[in-house]
Chains A and B, each alone.
Chain A
Amino acid sequence: SQKIEQNSEALNIQEGKTATLTCNYTNYSPAYLQWYRQDPGRGPVFLLLIRENEKEKRKERLKVTFDTTLKQSLFHITASQPADSATYLCALDNQAGTALIFGKGTTLSVSS
């Protein structure tokens, strides 16, 4: 079955630095990969989707890469701000294409 791992549970960085979060997956070749943000007590919010034939995607201060050979996605937040503090979830479509499989998330803390 598909497995997703987000390499660290927590990441602490200083304001203005670039945060880099990692998502690795096994046993599957997804058609696309997504990143979500979740704040405490709230539902996840969609951030970015990247397809298997795309190497990189950007949205404002966010950048996602997708390496299907390494089975890995990197999620970058440049010029990070305290407001970026949240849990970031990586998600893949399941093989049937009927649902998303989520990683456990990485909790990012940006200190001023």
Chain B
Amino acid sequence: NAGVMQNPRHLVRRRGQEARLRCSPMKGHSHVYWYRQLPEEGLKFMVYLQKENIIDESGMPKERFSAEFPKEGPSILRIQQVVRGDSAAYFCASSPPGSPSYEQYFGPGTRLTVT
């Protein structure tokens, strides 16, 4: 039973480029969450999605950031025109159907470096 998978594990982008982060939830899980962790800071919630729906995007910057969880395929977090401040570890988590913020299962993260 594979856990939450994220790729790539490391991503280097120059300022102004686009970053695409992918997340495959655990089998049977229908809730996906994205979090960002900056150095010396805690995990910050960005967005919560179910299949084909964004349920809560209150933690996501209004500009340059978008997320989707299509009917088929992984969830994607997209950052357009990256800036140095976007450098962080981005974690995806999933949880089974039911209460959305019960225990969450995290992936290994994608470490984004913007040069």
Contact = CB atoms under 8 A, between A and B. Distances in A.
Interface of A: 34, 36, 41-46, 49, 89, 93-94, 96-105
Interface residues on B, range: 20 to 34
A102 B104 CA distance: 12
Nearest to B47: A99
B70 to A, nearest CB: 20
A104 B103 CA distance: 18
Interface of B: 4, 33, 35, 41-45, 48, 55-56, 59, 91, 93, 99-109
13 contacts: A36-B106, A43-B109, A44-B43, A49-B102, A89-B42, A96-B56, A97-B99, A97-B100, A98-B55, A98-B56, A99-B33, A99-B56, A100-B33
B109 A99 contact: no
A93 B59 CA distance: 14
B104 A46 contact: yes
